[in-house]
Amino acid sequence: MPTQPRLVLASASPARAMLLRAAGVGFEVAPSQVDEEALTAALRPVVAVTDLVAHLARAKASDVAAGLAADNAVVVGCDSMLEFEGLAHGKPLTADAAAERWRRMRGRTGVLHTGHHVIRITDGVAAATAHAVVSTEVDFADISDAEVDAYVATGEPLHVAGAFTLDSKGSAFITGVRGDHANVVGLSLAGLRLLLQQVGVEWTDLWTADSQG
């Protein structure tokens, strides 16, 4: 059995892949086939936002782990949502929804929650799991109607949790972040390191040869 496990990211998110790559971590991408919209619709009325992202992260990791042919691997599932006005806000999907959301959020504060779920596969079976939700406060600039319309027209906010990004066009519209910056981008690197330790994997063992100099 190899000493270094395969790290498998159960997500097609370019932002999450970018974070891992920038941190020098070697990984593979295997997007889950979980129907996020259906699962969210079923759970949203009855659970807190933190429970919702935790459940979705677990579902994604479990889906990928179930179909993974591996003797030594770690699957990482994540899900992010913005809590604003006590409600969960995922991807708006339409321009009208994104614009309406920004007109309510501007000049105010929300909390971005990201659920993380890790499954360690040893000898072909799920040998250990760990999970956590990391939460970060985000302050939104009081942008104009013209700025809202221009941002929505780019298409960027339609397909990201909370209708904003911290690492692209939306970054100029964020005036403050209290907590884990990477968590807002897509996943908490510091939180993931601790979860990996819980399933017997050291973060430094995942560094690629190039990242070690």
Please say if 71 is a catalytic residue.
no
On the CB side of 203, CA atoms within 13 Å amount to 11
Helices (H), the chain: 14-22, 36-43, 49-66, 95-105, 145-153, 181-185, 189-198
Q: How many residues does the chain have?
A: 213
Which residue is associated with the tokens 């339609």? 158
- Given the residues 79, 96, 145, 180, the one annotated as active site: 79
Q: Is the dihedral of CA 85, 138, 176, 14 positive or negative?
A: negative
What are the residues whose beta carbons fall under 8 Å from the beta carbon of 7, sequence distance 6 or more? Answer: 20, 25, 26, 27, 28, 73, 74, 76, 206
How many Cα atoms occupy the beta-carbon half-sphere of 11 within 13 Å? 26
CA distances from residue 45 to 40, 41, 48, 69, 99 in whole angstroms, order as listed: 9, 8, 8, 36, 23
Q: Which residues are catalytic?
A: 79
